[in-house]
Amino acid sequence: MTTTYNFTGGHYDFTDPDYPQYTKGLFTAGSFTVPNQLQGNLQGVDIASTISDWSFEDGYLTYDKNTSTLNKFIVSTDDSGEYLIQFSASVTYNSNQYLLVMYSLNDPFSVMVPVSEGYKVIARIFPVGFSIYPA
């Protein structure tokens, strides 16, 4: 039986002025579907190959299987597998790569773009204003 994990986010508390399309009035939302509920106690596991459907909105762009390529989707789960405690998704949208990251429920959710020495945060929610849960 497939399981869909959904999340809705709060408004950004930081936006980079170099990316004026991201404003503090925007928020995040998304979901992804896997064949079964995720196992408990996963630690940094790439589940991209098991995801049958997915969509993420960062308030400006929508990333999904029709507009983007999901390169990696790294997750860690709680004891039951019912809740994600962290994830990062690497997506390619219009030939540009984005990294959507939530390190933990106590750390910021960030939208990042690649730069020469890693990734640059272009929008962030802190504290994380959303939860990720199965439907």
Mean pLDDT on 101-128: 60
How far apart, in whole angstroms, are the C-alpha atoms of residue 69 and residue 63? Answer: 8
Most confident of 10-14, 51-55, 78-82, 88-92: 51-55
pLDDT greater at residue 88 or residue 36: 36
Residue 36, number of CB atoms within 10 A of its CB = 10
pLDDT at 22: 86
CA angle 92, 70, 22 (to 5 degrees): 50
